[in-house]
Every structure is written in structure tokens, then in C-alpha cells.
Structure 1
Amino acid sequence: MSDFQDKVAVITGGASGIGLAVARELVRLGGSVVLADVNERALTDASEEFGDKALTQVCDTSDLAQVEALAEAAFDWTGHVDLVLNNAGQGGVRGKLWDVDPEAARAHFDVNFWGVWNGCRVFTPRLIAQDRPSAIYNTGSENSFFCAVPQTAAYIAAKHAVLGMTESLREDLPDHVHAGLIIPGWVFTPLGEERFMQFGMDSAKYARIIVPQILANERFVVSHYSNVKRIEERIDPLLDAYARNAPRNEGDDAYDTRDFIAALQANRN
């Protein structure tokens, strides 16, 4: 997708924060949006702002049946969907891992991981069935690659899981359906306390940075260069551990899982 004229996007968590900012940018580029959120008041405000360029629906993405109802409404509205943004999420429970209520952590995963899973599960077959290019993007985080905020194990684990899920999904898709990961850095959204979040990047500025990447079908949609140094703080010790403790030796490729699977497939063909 090189532009968004006359195209349709479904955005969960679309009534505030990054979701709403991206919706505004897509509508500015000539598209229409289906906005899903649990906040009815915010959805009403968005509906008034966008008029006939938007369809809004209350949807708890952790509930598979509600996500299926969202898909039905979206496709009934225009007959097609060009872009799905599984963006809905919530801030994680805080505290040292052993002090966090396990039920609270599971409830968090229901939204930040299973909500994204539900969006992929419901919308992907429909996108595949369409005779037109489309894309599905999942909102990860800088926390998909490193620990940005201390004592948020459930949030960090969920965002790591979204990264892995998205990468796996990519391999199952036909050429006309693209999948990618949106990797927000520190953006001013309602995800955390305003007294802290207000110092993050303005969400409108963030949307202007990432929408062109989404429309260009980038695999990873990025914004904050400072993330690179934090990623390196993890990757460099990992590579060093391999260099010291598992150096390359002749015959190592025999243990490469992907190479082995490829060889099996080649033999079957």
C-alpha cells in the first residue's frame, strides 16, 4: 500500500492514544476507519470527529466473540478491509514478579497478548480470502526487545510474546497479506500515569512517523533511535556468550533447526 485513498483500516484501542492518532492520519490520507475500544465515551467522541469516515464499536479484544463481531461489522460496512491494527493494550501490573498477583498477570495477558492473538485469528483468514493486498500490524513495544520500565514483568513478557507471535504469523501468510510489528518507544498515551507519560513523544507526531512505514509494508515500524542502545545492551552480551561458550566449529550446521527443516522439505519435493 502506497497511499490510503478509499481504503479501510480496523484499529483496536482506536479511541485514544496511538490508535486514535493513527486513525486521524489515515483519514487525512483519504481512508476510512473502524475503531474498536472498551471506552464508550471516547468512541462517541471519535464518531463525532470523523463522521461518516468512521464506524465505531465497543469491543473487548480479550473476548474472542466480541472480536468476531467486530470483524462482521467491519466487513459489512464496506465489504473489505485493507489494514488491521491490533493495537489495544493496557499498562501492566507493577511490582517485583514474586509480589504480583498471578491472576492480575493472567488478566493482563488476556488483553496484551490474547487480545492481539484474537485479532490475528479472526481477521487473517478474511484478509487471505480477499482478492486485494492487505496488511495486519500488531502493536508491540520497545519492551518487546528490552526492559524499558522496571518491575513490569507481565507487560514486558506480553510484548515479547507479541513479537514472537507476529514473526511466526508472517511465515504463514500468502504474498498478498503482509504482517508487521509496530514498536512504539516512549509515546504520550493513556497507557500509564499522565505525570510520567506526558514527557513522551506526542502521539500525533508519532503517527506521522509510523504511518508511512505501515503503508510501505515495513516489517518493523520504528521511531525512537535511543532504543538501539538498549537493544545492543542485550544483544552484545548474548553474542559474547556464544563467542566464548559456543564458538563456531565444523559441523555446527547439523544442529540448525531451520536448515534441517528446509532439507527435509527439499527431499520431499
Structure 2
Amino acid sequence: MSDRLNGKVALISGGASGIGLAIAKRFASEGAKVALGDINAESGEKVAAEIGDNAMFVTLDVTKEEMWEAAFKAVIEKFGKVNVVVNNAGIAIGNNIEDIPLEQWNKVVAINGTGMMLGTKHGIKNIKNYGGGSIINMSSIEGFIGEPFNLAYDFTKGGVRIMSKSAALYCAEKKYDIRVNTIHPGYIHTPMVDTHPGLVKLEESKTPMGHLGQAQDIANMALFLASDESSFATGSEFVVDGGYTAQ
């Protein structure tokens, strides 16, 4: 690997597994110091130890503002600064407009919506003190299109896309040199998906390229957005979906 992120420090929510884990490892391989924020301390500590001295774990419930504040404080105390925030933590619970319980709606909105807002808010408040950087918010192809049985998820992923544009314009107006962009994965191999062969086949049939993406595909896009190579990209959407939304 090269050193495309040499000297950068990244905080990644949902960093203990799946796409977040792939991003953390990719960033570290390119010279970054990485902080894995997650509610799963056992996995997070294990992964940080595997990555080595350039990684740390911070306990992070993305719905709690005080935990975001504590996470940034811990990262800055250990690594001296923060340049990149990847707001990756999220959940999906199938539901529809007629039957969704309010409690379920509120849970998805709290994690996928409020959690993203808090990560972006405190990312800006901290990154601006260290010469600028990049905030990468994980949306979805469902930030563009709807599904009948993914109501709350669709709501939050569409909201993340527009919120990120607002934040990007704010940072540009304030001359903070902070870029805010969204990544929109299509159907990706994850441990949860791969335990359901029928779901894999269904998602493959919907994807023009005929196969699902890998977590590494999303990590590669995040690497570009975290690096100085994307210095003129802000308020934009980066789709990695095997052609799904081109249909």
C-alpha cells in the first residue's frame, strides 16, 4: 500500500465490524491513525489490537451527544488531532407505512438520523481546529430510491444525503476547509446478508453487474474521500452500487 492518508487521524463510527471495519483497516494501511467508535467493546478492542499502535477503540453510542464529545476528546488526547470522520453506524429494520410501531421508527431515526447529525456536528467542531479535513456520511442507494418495506431506513438515508449538503455548504461559507460528502452503497456482502442465501440471490438479481459488492469496495471510495485527492468534492454523492441506480 501507499501513504495516501499519511499524517491523518480518522474517527469511524460502527468501526468494529462490516463496512466500518473494512474502512478502518484500509485507512490504517494507507498511513492513517484510526479510532474505532462502536457500542461493541469486545469486538472493537480486538480489532484495534489487530491493527496495532495506530488504532484505538472508543465506546460510542451515536445517539448520545456526550459520548461523541468524550470520543473526540479521547482521540485528540491520544493522536493529537482529528482530520476525518466517517459516520458509518446504522441499522435497518424492515417496516411499512401502515404497520410501523412508533418505537421502532424512533429507534431507526435516532441511530441513522440523529447519530449522523451528531457525528457531523462534532466532526465540524473539532476538525476545524486542525486545518480542515473530510466528513464522510454513509447513506445508501435508498437515499435515492424507495422500498415499500424499508420505510424508516429510507427516510433516514434520504435525510442523510440532504443534511450532508447543508453541512457542506455551511463549512464552505465559513471557510473551514471541511468537505462533507455521502457514500451510497448498493447491495453489499455482509455477515448478516451472507447467512441468507435466498437474500443474496435476490439482491444479485437486482444488480446489473450480477453480483454483490464487497465491504472493500466501499472502503476504497471512503479512502478517496478521506484523502487530499478529493479536495474539490463537497456536498456530493458517491454511488457504489454495481449499476443499480442506473436502471
1:162-218 CA distance string (max 9 Å, x none): 011001001110251111111111112356573136963121243234422442334
- Matched-pair identity in %: 25
Counterpart of 1:163, as a letter, is R
In structure 1, what is the Cα distance between the partners aligned to 2:240 and 2:77?
34
Residue 119 of structure 1 corresponds to 119
Equivalent residues of 1:187, 1:197 under 8 A apart:
no
> In 2 relative to 1, CA 30–192 (structure 1 residues): closer, same or farther, beyond 3 Å?
same
Counterpart of 1:139, as a letter, is M
CA RMSD of aligned residues (A): 2.0
Task: Give TM-score scaled by structure 2 length.
Answer: 0.84
1:16 correspondence with 2:17: yes
In structure 2, what is the Cα distance between the partners aligned to 1:85 and 1:117?
12
Counterpart of 1:220, as a letter, is E
Cα deviation for residue 96 of structure 1 reads 2.3
Residue 137 of structure 1 corresponds to 136
Residue 224 of structure 1 corresponds to 241
In structure 2, what is the Cα distance between the partners aligned to 1:116 and 1:47?
23
Equivalent residues of 1:210, 1:221 under 8 A apart:
no
Consecutive unaligned residues in structure 2, runs of 5 or more: 205-211
Aligned ranges 1:125-164 → 2 under 5 Å = 125-130=125-130, 132-147=131-146, 149-164=147-162
Equivalent residues of 2:36, 2:58 under 8 A apart:
yes
Which aligned segments of 4 or more residues in structure 1 are displaced greater than 6 angstroms?
A: none
1:234-259 CA distance string (max 9 Å, x none): xxxxxxxxxxxxxxxxxxxxxxxxxx
Equivalent residues of 1:210, 1:223 under 8 A apart:
no
Greater gyration radius: 1
Residue 208 of structure 2 corresponds to none
In structure 2, what is the Cα distance between the partners aligned to 1:46 and 1:122?
24
Cα deviation for residue 120 of structure 1 reads 1.2
1:166 correspondence with 2:164: yes
1:128-160 CA distance string (max 9 Å, x none): 222x2311111111110002x440100000100
In structure 2, what is the Cα distance between the partners aligned to 1:213 and 1:65?
27
In structure 2, what is the Cα distance between the partners aligned to 1:191 and 1:97?
24
Residue 66 of structure 2 corresponds to 65
Cα deviation for residue 6 of structure 1 reads 2.3
Cα deviation for residue 56 of structure 1 reads 0.2
Equivalent residues of 1:90, 1:191 under 8 A apart:
no
Residue 241 of structure 1 corresponds to none
Task: Give TM-score scaled by structure 1 length.
Answer: 0.78
1:87 correspondence with 2:85: no
Secondary structure of the corresponding residue to residue 240 of structure 2: coil
Counterpart of 1:117, as a letter, is M
Equivalent residues of 1:140, 1:183 under 8 A apart:
yes
> In 2 relative to 1, CA 197–155 (structure 1 residues): closer, same or farther, beyond 3 Å?
farther
1:48-71 CA distance string (max 9 Å, x none): 211211110111001111111111
Question: Aligned pairs, how many?
Answer: 226
